[in-house]
């Protein structure tokens, strides 16, 4: 495995140009001052309630665990020219993915062209036959996409960005991006007068504009709401935060009902028709008449209103067919097929274990690779070969042999590192980036995203559920 690309330092510990101003400021900060700022940030985050629930984890009294996502004081800085190229690549990729989802539920031209195997779609647990032939406003299925980007070192010492994963169902984390920026401006106001950092605070306005733009055609003043599974969901803070920031109602399934093929929400002034639902509830739980009959999180009859075009769901039902890890290797072909363009952002090389030759290679090199469940999320259900024990590798080998189509494998990328304030001082830690792409009448995004950081020394797993933290992401103005 090649050494990691260092975001701040080039060869010989030379500070990269876009970090020089920050590096000069950081060198003047006493360690104790930084430590007390970190404690202040933690106290404020706890007071505001910026926590997430960890499923399966229990406190001493047996209740579920609410954790603070650790916040790192040292920002990740991206120069304007790098962001500009990434932004173009993200818009291109999400446009192609939306075209693919429309094609899956309509003409299926990409299958007929032989570019994506039919069984990869029709046997996919996220494929929803109920969506066949359903037209959605503007042909947009994934209105809010969270695309995970990593950077790896090249032999010449430069670094290249790669897409690690497409999150097109109910991507989370944008509230942390916004709160991290607010925290940095509160703790270090002088830094923002010294650096020209692109703003991100307008994301809720942009989100609302996107949601209103995809309302049913006949609606002039659309009513938008955020549908949450409720306060016990791990991302409930974010659901409440975004509803409040957009100035729209936060509702649960029990607050909605269907009448005369329209959706209404119960309010203190009586029923109010809803036109756009930003849903943070998985497909399976949206409509007990169609999906899981035991679900109390959705609204009975919602799908029939949706199919009639009288309500917009963001993201659309069935988007998961395109963010499955077994579909990911085909995205570069989608870009060429639907847009007639070469991909700007590249995939990480990927072996599909459903292919006999790929499976043989993966089984022969398990100790070197990262192997992931195609439906896995949150850092669960994966093997990081170089960090695994012999027992873990043997267990994974058996799982792979029993169900090869359930896994993909990738080389162990040394994710780039960024200086991070840890207990022992400032040290490099591995990071990734999740920009949030909004698709409505146009494709747009705020400059930045959620930088996640693996706080454990040497760890490549950045997920908050696995002990990762977050950083503010600065895109510098051109």
Local confidence pLDDT in tens for the 478 residues of the chain: 568 999 999 987 899 999 999 999 999 998 889 999 999 999 998 888 776 655 444 444 444 456 678 899 999 999 999 999 999 999 999 999 999 999 999 999 999 999 999 988 998 889 999 999 999 999 999 999 999 999 999 888 889 999 999 999 999 999 999 999 999 999 999 999 999 999 999 999 999 999 999 999 889 999 999 999 998 888 899 999 999 999 999 999 999 999 999 999 999 999 999 999 999 999 999 999 999 999 999 999 999 999 999 999 999 999 999 988 889 999 999 999 999 999 999 999 999 998 899 999 999 999 989 998 887 665 567 888 888 899 999 999 999 999 898 899 998 888 899 999 988 889 999 999 999 999 999 999 999 999 999 988 887 777 766 678 999 999 999 8
Rounded to an integer, what distance in angstroms lies between the CA atom of residue 45 and that of residue 39?
10
Chain-centroid distance of CA 45 in Å reads: 21
Query: What is the rounded distance in angstroms from the CA atom of residue 216 to the CA atom of residue 261?
Result: 13
Q: How far is CA 127 from CA 85, 119, 245, 473, in A?
A: 32, 11, 33, 34
Q: Give the span between the Cα atoms of 77 and 20, in whole angstroms.
A: 10
Tokens, residue 133: 């032939």
* Angstrom distance (rounded) from CA 99 to CA 95: 6
Coil vs helix vs strand at 453: strand
Position of tokens 């439906």?
A: 375
Specify the pLDDT at position 274. 98
pLDDT at residue 112, rounded to an integer: 96
pLDDT at 58: 42
Give the number of other CB atoms < 10 A from CB of residue 213.
19
Q: What is this structure's pTM? A: 0.91
Strand partners, 149: 163, 433
Q: What is the CA radius of gyration of the chain?
A: 23
244 backbone dihedrals φ, ψ, rounded to 5° = -65, -45
Phi, psi of 187 (to 5 degrees): -80, -35
Strand-strand pairing, 224-227 and 276-279 = parallel
CA distance readout (Å), 307 to 130, 228, 235, 363, 396: 9, 21, 28, 45, 42
Give the pairing of strands 262-265 and 272-274. antiparallel
C-beta atoms surrounding 254 within 10 Å: 12
- Do 321 and 127 form a contact (C-beta atoms < 8 A)? yes
- Residue recorded with tokens 């503010």: 472
Q: How far is CA 327 from CA 104, 117, 118, 403, in A?
A: 12, 10, 11, 17
The 3 state secondary structure assigned to 169-182 is CCCCCHHHHHHHHH
- DSSP designation for 5: P
In angstroms, the CA 234 to CA 309 distance is 31
Question: CA 439, CA 145: separation in Å to the nearest integer?
Answer: 8
Torsion, Cα 269 274 275 279, to 10 degrees, reads: 140
Exposure on the CB side of residue 14, measured as CA atoms within 13 A: 6
What's the CA gap between 161 and 158, in Å, rounded? 10
Residues 6+ apart with CB under 8 A from 280: 170, 172, 226, 227, 228, 229, 233, 235, 238, 239
Per-residue model confidence (pLDDT) at position 461: 74
Written as six digits, the tokens of 225 are 């709401």
- The residues facing 258 across adjacent strands are 263
pLDDT at 298: 95
């Amino acid at each position: 495995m090649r050494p990691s690309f260092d975001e701040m330092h080039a060869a010989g510990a030379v500070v990269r140009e876009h970090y020089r101003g920050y590096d000069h400021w950081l060198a003047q900060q006493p360690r104790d001052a930084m430590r007390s700022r970190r404690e202040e940030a933690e106290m404020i985050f706890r007071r505001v309630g910026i926590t997430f629930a960890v499923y399966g984890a229990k406190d001493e009294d047996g209740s579920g665990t609410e954790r603070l996502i650790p916040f790192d004081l040292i920002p990740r800085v991206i120069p304007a020219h790098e962001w500009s190229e990434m932004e173009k690549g993200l818009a291109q990729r999400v446009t192609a993915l939306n075209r693919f989802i429309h094609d899956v539920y309509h003409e299926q031209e990409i299958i007929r062209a032989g570019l994506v195997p039919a069984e990869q779609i029709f046997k996919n647990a996220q494929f929803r036959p109920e969506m066949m032939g359903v037209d959605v406003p503007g042909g947009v299925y994934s209105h809010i996409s969270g695309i995970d980007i990593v950077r790896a070192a090249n032999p010449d010492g430069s670094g290249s960005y790669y897409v690690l994963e497409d999150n097109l169902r109910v991507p989370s984390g944008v509230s942390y991006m916004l709160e991290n920026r607010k925290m940095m401006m509160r703790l270090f106001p002088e830094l923002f007068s010294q650096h020209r950092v692109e703003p991100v605070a307008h994301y809720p306005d942009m989100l609302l504009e996107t949601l209103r733009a995809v309302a049913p055609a006949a609606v002039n003043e659309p009513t938008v709401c955020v549908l949450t599974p409720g306060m016990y969901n791990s991302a409930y803070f974010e659901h409440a935060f975004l509803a409040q920031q957009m100035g729209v109602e936060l509702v649960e399934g029990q607050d909605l009902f269907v009448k005369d093929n329209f959706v209404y929400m119960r309010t203190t002034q009586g029923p109010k028709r809803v036109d756009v639902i930003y849903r943070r509830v998985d497909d399976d739980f949206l409509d007990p008449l169609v999906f899981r009959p035991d679900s109390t999180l959705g609204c009975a009859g919602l799908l029939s209103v949706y199919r009639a075009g009288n309500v917009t769901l963001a993201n659309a039902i069935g988007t998961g067919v395109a963010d499955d890890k077994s579909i990911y290797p085909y995205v570069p072909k989608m870009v060429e097929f639907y847009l007639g363009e070469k991909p700007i952002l590249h995939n990480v090389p990927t072996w599909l274990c459903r292919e006999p030759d790929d499976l043989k290679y993966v089984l022969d090199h398990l100790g070197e690779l990262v192997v992931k469940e195609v439906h896995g999320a949150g850092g669960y259900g994966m093997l990081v070969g170089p960090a695994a024990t012999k027992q873990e590798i043997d267990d994974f080998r058996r799982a792979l042999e029993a169900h090869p189509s359930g896994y993909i494998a990738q080389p162990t990328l040394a994710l780039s590192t960024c200086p991070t304030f840890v207990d022992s001082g400032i040290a490099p830690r591995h990071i990734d980036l999740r920009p949030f792409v909004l698709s409505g009448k146009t494709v747009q995004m705020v400059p930045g995203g959620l930088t996640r950081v693996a706080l454990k020394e040497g760890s490549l797993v950045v997920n908050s559920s696995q002990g990762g933290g977050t950083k503010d992401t600065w895109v510098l103005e051109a």
